[in-house]
Amino acid sequence: MRIIGVDPGLVTTGYGVIDVKGRSHVAVEGGFSKTKASDALEFRLKAIHQDIREVIEEHKPNVMAVEDLHVRYRNLKTAIIMGHARGVAVLAAGEAGIPVFHYEPTRAKNLVTGSGRADKEQVQRAVAVHLRLPGIDNEHVADAFSIAICHAMMSDSPVANAS
């Protein structure tokens, strides 16, 4: 199974593509879509959508795993803007005909690091260990890989398959 994980953000949307081979997870590609704060919202969303669509077209994942919105936002406007970024990533999956699974960041952190409250550096180190990489420099890429790993672990779980 090939999974694309997405960490949506208006400034930086991270993505990580992994292959699942038995119980091992192999990194295929990780990267990010970056937009300029000075650009209008519609052009930033278009850029994110195009970048994710291109990754999907190139790597042909079977599924997308995307980070769900955080439970608490201090600013409602932030939640709405994050929803826009998630929406265009999910749209790219829909256009490609691949199913999308949504995971809370705390669930992915817990599965990957052992703690739902892990900080960014802990997530980066844990993801690098899971994928046997020397390191991951970008927190958004690490988060995207963690979401993909989370889906791989959840889809392999007897509990997930029983429901």
Report the pLDDT value the prediction gives residue 163, as an integer from 0 to 100: 38
State how far the Cα of 22 lies from the Cα of 31, in Å rounded to an integer.
Answer: 24
pLDDT tens figures, 64-114: 999 987 656 677 787 888 899 999 999 999 999 999 999 999 999 999 999
State how far the Cα of 7 lies from the Cα of 15, in Å rounded to an integer.
Answer: 6
Task: Write down the residue that tokens 């997870």 correspond to.
Answer: 25
What average pLDDT score do residues 43-54 get? 98
